[in-house]
């Protein structure tokens, strides 16, 4: 293949380029992964966040199976039991709802619904938006202009309203929610990927590959995407929060997840009418949302520094000195 022939010289010609992906050989790749993991363990907050996300993910994966039919089993004798007591059994530790269903079990089951909307939505938007953006940025010209105009159009209208209208036209199934959330978030990746790739396509190592006759698609896949990927993955972590909040809002407004399915946002909405008598029905699912999004946010902030070769040294320092050394915290994109 042409591109694989041209690649090693292109990589060797520019050893000084800090943004040149180092992960060309197998060993350096593994080394980088291990180094990243070790860096993660050094940061208490980032480690805790990663742990929380792993726990939430595992809960969503295997939790519903462990809970069996607890989440749907009604027991009117135990209706609206207050939380934080095991007097009625462990399953009522987080209280029960107006039909006597265990809050704990419902939260666990809802975690799967919530994640099964948020994760695919982020993944779809990430893949489509990034590829599109990299392509537009690499080719410049009319492809870039048209893409940016489309992104402007989508971004200039309140996303929630767009989702409200679309979900009312098409039935609010989980697949439709994923699609509309992905659609409204594609411009974020599109813009970022376009900007990075437009800058990269004028760099020497891309020029070198071009001189050797590599096709645009090969250059994009082998030279541009590896460099842009860390930024986009960090962005995706951040976007995970946004998409989760958006799904919750839609479910809260009654046009997201529909009963008898249950998501955290829907639970907040259902508990709203019992706010005076059973506050835990609305508060606990909200806490679950907040804990998950904070964890993803902290991890994204850490990733942003850890995947940037120019800033990574900061994470190697002890935390106290680190704070003293960073005058400007990165602002959100």
Identified binder of another protein from the candidate list 86, 161, 202, 259, rule CB under 8 A: 161
End-to-end Cα spacing for the chain? 38
Query: Which residues neighbour 82 within 8 Å (Cβ) at sequence distance 6 or greater?
Result: 95, 278, 280
Q: Which residues pair with 102 in a beta bridge?
A: 96
DSSP assignments along 180-229, one per residue: HHHHHHHHHHHHHHHHHHHHHTTSHHHHHHHHTT--HHHHIIIIIHHHHH
Q: Contact with another protein (CB under 8 A): which of 17, 157, 173, 313?
A: 157
Asked if residue 76 binds another protein (CB under 8 A), the reply is no
Identify the residue whose tokens are 């080394």: 31
The residue (of 20 and 282) whose beta carbon lies closer to another protein is 282
Q: Which is nearer to another protein, 205 or 242 (CB)?
A: 242
Site string for another protein, 306-325 (x = CB under 8 A): -----------------xx-
Is 258 an interacting residue with respect to another protein (CB under 8 A)? no
Does residue number 265 form part of the binding site for another protein (CB under 8 A)? Answer: yes
- Binding to another protein in span 280-309, by CB under 8 A: 282-283, 286, 289-290, 293-294, 297-298
Alpha helices (runs of H) in the chain, residue ranges in sequence order: 2-13, 26-42, 44-67, 103-139, 141-155, 159-169, 174-200, 204-211, 216-219, 225-253, 264-271, 280-306, 313-316, 319-325
Q: How many residues bind another protein (CB under 8 A)?
A: 49
- Minimum CB separation of residue 89 from another protein in Å reads 27
Task: Choose between 109 and 255: whose C-beta lies nearer to another protein.
Answer: 255
Place of tokens 């704990």: 104
Q: Which positions lie near another protein, rule CB under 8 A? A: 144, 148-149, 152-153, 155-161, 164-166, 168-169, 238, 241-242, 245, 248-249, 252-253, 265, 268-269, 272, 275-276, 279, 282-283, 286, 289-290, 293-294, 297-298, 323-324, 327-332
């Amino acid at each position: 293949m042409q591109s694989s022939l041209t690649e090693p010289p292109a990589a060797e010609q520019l050893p000084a380029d800090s943004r040149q992906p180092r992960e060309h050989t197998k060993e350096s790749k593994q080394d980088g992964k291990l180094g990243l993991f070790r860096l993660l363990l050094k940061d208490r907050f980032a480690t805790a966040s990663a742990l929380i996300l792993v726990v939430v993910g595992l809960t969503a994966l295997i939790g519903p199976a462990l809970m069996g039919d607890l989440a749907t089993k009604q027991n009117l004798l135990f209706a609206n039991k207050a939380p934080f007591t095991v007097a009625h059994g462990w399953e009522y530790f987080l209280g029960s709802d107006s039909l006597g269903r265990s809050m704990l079990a419902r939260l666990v089951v809802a975690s799967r619904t919530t994640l099964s909307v948020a994760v695919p939505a982020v993944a779809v938007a990430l893949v489509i938006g990034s590829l599109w953006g990299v392509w537009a940025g690499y080719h410049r010209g009319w492809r870039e202009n048209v893409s940016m105009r489309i992104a402007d159009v989508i971004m200039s209208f309140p996303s929630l309203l767009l989702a409200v209208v679309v979900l009312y036209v098409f039935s609010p199934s989980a697949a439709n929610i994923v699609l509309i959330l992905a659609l409204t978030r594609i411009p974020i990746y599109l813009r970022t990927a376009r900007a990075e790739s437009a800058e990269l396509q004028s760099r020497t190592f891309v020029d070198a590959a071009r001189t050797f006759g590599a096709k645009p698609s090969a250059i994009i896949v082998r030279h541009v995407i590896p460099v842009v990927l860390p930024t986009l993955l960090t962005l995706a972590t951040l976007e995970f929060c946004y998409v989760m909040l958006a799904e919750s809002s839609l479910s809260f407004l009654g046009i997201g997840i529909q009963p008898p399915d249950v998501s955290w946002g829907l639970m907040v909405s259902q508990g709203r009418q019992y706010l005076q008598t059973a506050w835990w029905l609305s508060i606990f699912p909200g806490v679950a949302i907040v804990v998950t999004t904070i964890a993803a946010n902290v991890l994204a902030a850490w990733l942003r520094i850890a995947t940037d070769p120019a800033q990574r040294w900061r994470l190697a320092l002890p935390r106290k000195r680190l704070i003293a050394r960073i005058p400007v915290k990165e602002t959100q994109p």
